[in-house]
Structure 1
Amino acid sequence: MHFTGSDFWRFLPLVHAGVFGATAVAGRMLIARTNRHDAVSFSRGDSAHDFVARWFDQEWTRWIGVACMVVALIWVICAQATMGTAWRMGVDTRTRTELITTGPFALSRNPIYLGIRATILGQLLVVGTWPVLMIWVMSELLVQIQVRFEEEHMFRLHAQRYADYCSRVRRWI
């Protein structure tokens, strides 16, 4: 795979976010070790905030999260297999791809992103920490933006055929 200068600028923020997040979490955990408390969990008091936090500390919540992650993984693999050679990461204006409307794409216009959303939600339910909650919030925002970029591209690429597809199939499910 050959990276161009624009690829560098595209991936730099993602790499930075990963390093920054890992450093922030590792730093908090090291500080917590010296202070003898759990630095990355929700608190366990009696406030409204803590009432919500208790949902993330239930065994059944974690199992729902595991189920989300397993179903999402299978879903994404099926969606990527259905796309075949049309699969791209992001918007590729240099290559004309076919419009895929079968398999998971018959149920959702964005099944891979739907799988990503379900995966991160599952991770939040399993881990239940503030950092994972923030990752979930950020990923939701970024996925919503990216999907709109890709849908604009699909309208330019497939025009009326894509508009007809949008009228039959919802963005998510």
Structure 2
Amino acid sequence: MHFGDSSFWRFLPLVHAGVFGATAVFGRIVIARTNRHDAVSFSRGESARDFVARCFYVWLPVVDGVLLAFYGLTGQRGQTVLSIFDGEWVRWIGAACMTIALIWVVCSQAAMGSAWRMGVDSRTATELITKGPFALSRNPIYLGIRVTIFGQLLVLGTWPVLVIWVMSELLVQVQVRFEEEHMFSLHPQRYAEYCSRVRRWL
């Protein structure tokens, strides 16, 4: 069966994105509001920090979602980057990456509890979380997002997804540095000690 004719591969990335959005984004926002704090910490401000956050948290997911919806509904994915992306085993690796990443992100968010935010919250002194997935990675949620987009690239393997992957990699590298700078200002000594024993990614 040709890749473009398989309903499973057409809709898998779209369904995964829907589940990811419902659980790891909207679900967490609802939980945060139930606990009476605003988890969305970026605004319409003109600072570089706000601009990067909007690109990463809003525009990148919108573009990614439109692309996945278009492919799922039409079966048109565009030209593949390399012939290797037509291999069934590559797509299964991509599917495994997306599944594991979703579980990893949800567990990491649960470990953060009420400290979870989207962006840098300069209004509230949040707790420094060092247990659970944070004992392995300083940025486990962003790590999970990176693996998710990479998994999409393996499943679709087209130029538009490659561009999204490159953009997400650039944005996440900038975003984590903004957040790490903020954590240094909140917990100078503790965060420095934490950084000395736990890597940024893995």
The TM tier, using the shorter chain, reads 0.7 to 0.9
Number of equivalences? 153
Check 1:59–1:74 CA distance in 2 against 1; reply closer, same or farther (3 A cut).
same
Q: Give unpaired runs (5+ residues) of structure 2.
A: 1-32
Counterpart in the other structure of 1:101: 130
Write the letter of the residue equivalent to 1:161.
R
CA–CA distance in structure 2, aligned partners of residues 88 and 136 of structure 1:
23
* Alpha-carbon distance, 1:71 to partner: 0.4
* Alpha-carbon distance, 1:54 to partner: 1.1
CA–CA distance in structure 2, aligned partners of residues 40 and 128 of structure 1:
9
State the identity %: 67
Please identify runs of 4+ aligned residues in structure 1 that moved more than 6 A: none
Write the letter of the residue equivalent to 2:157.
G
CA–CA distance in structure 1, aligned partners of residues 64 and 129 of structure 2:
37
- 1:144 matched to 2:173: yes
CA–CA distance in structure 2, aligned partners of residues 125 and 20 of structure 1:
14
- Larger Rg computed on CA atoms: 1
* Alpha-carbon distance, 1:114 to partner: 0.1
Q: Cα deviations across residues 37-73 of structure 1 (Å, max 9, x unaligned)?
A: x67122xxxxxxxxx7011110000000000000000
CA–CA distance in structure 2, aligned partners of residues 170 and 20 of structure 1:
28
Counterpart in the other structure of 2:27: none
Q: Give unpaired runs (5+ residues) of structure 1.
A: 31-37, 43-51
Counterpart in the other structure of 1:117: 146
CA–CA distance in structure 1, aligned partners of residues 54 and 172 of structure 2:
18
Check 1:20–1:124 CA distance in 2 against 1; reply closer, same or farther (3 A cut).
closer
* Alpha-carbon distance, 1:20 to partner: 10
Q: TM-score, normalised by structure 1?
A: 0.77
Counterpart in the other structure of 1:89: 118
Q: TM-score, normalised by structure 2?
A: 0.67
Write the letter of the residue equivalent to 2:158.
T
